[in-house]
Amino acid sequence: TQLLEQSPQFLSIQEGENLTVYCNSSSVFSSLQWYRQEPGEGPVLLVTVVTGGEVKKLKRLTFQFGDARKDSSLHITAAQPGDTGLYLCAGARGDDKIIFGKGTRLHILP
Amino acid sequence: GAGVSQSPSNKVTEKGKDVELRCDPISGHTALYWYRQSLGQGLEFLIYFQGNSAPDKSGLPSDRFSAERTGGSVSTLTIQRTQQEDSAVYLCASSRSGRGTDTQYFGPGTRLTVL
């Protein structure tokens, strides 16, 4: 059972465009994290959100946790080639069991 | 400080042979995770250690897979009688306490190829 669905699976856009990727579930999570993975490396944490409705900004990246804590979105403004990578969301349940989505593979064309 | 390290970085083996993959977590981190990542895919959870105990082994694909952790530090993932479908990148991560809000720090992975 895939508890965390990420969409789209693949996204290729031009430099300078805006984009949003999504992480959805029918389950409630106590917290949710976003990681970015570049080729040949392990994932690196971008942000952790814990409160329903929470919005966090990291430069051109805006993360939102849904009010019901079942979903999250990542919005990138004015995408740059350095944003290219695999974006993974990971949700933690009350028992601290962590579940990863399959990721969105983002490619920014210069 | 030092991050999570994994060895070997690459392993090529023949079908039917056993392999051992090693993970050195960040010093002091009590939680350690093993994941498998097939080409172009997301992370498949394998096993979670809290100290030397493995409270969650639910992700191990078959009884050919086993893992141990000693001294609350180094962990080894062993795959017996390897099959071609075992080919993947095996990632290890550690976190301070295993809470859901902790940062997981990942190693660079071991790329396993079974011929």
Q: Report CB contact under 8 Å: B104, A50.
A: no
Enumerate the domain spans of chain B: 5-109
| CA-to-CA dists, residue B107 to A44, A68, A91, B22, angstroms | 10, 33, 20, 11
How many Cβ atoms are within 10 Å of A51's Cβ, its own excluded?
A: 10
Pairing of strands B88-95, B65-69: unpaired
Average pLDDT (B46-69) is 92
The architecture that CATH gives domain B5-109 is Sandwich (2.60)
Distance CA B77, CA B106 (A): 15
| Separation in Å, CA of A38 to nearest CA in chain B | 10
| Residue A18: predicted pLDDT | 98
Chain A residue with CA closest to B103: the answer is: A45
Please tell me which of the candidates B100, B104, B108 has its beta carbon nearest to residue A41: B108
Contacts with A50 from chain B: Cβ below 8 Å: 101
DSSP string of A42-90, one letter each residue: --EEEEEE-STT-EEEETTEEEEE-TTSSEEEEEESS--GGG-EEEEEE
Domain that holds residue A56: 5-109
Q: Report CB contact under 8 Å: B98, A99.
A: no
Looking up residue A35, the CATH number of its domain turns out to be: 2.60.40.10
Q: Give the tens place of pLDDT for each residue, B10-36.
A: 999 999 999 999 999 999 999 999 999
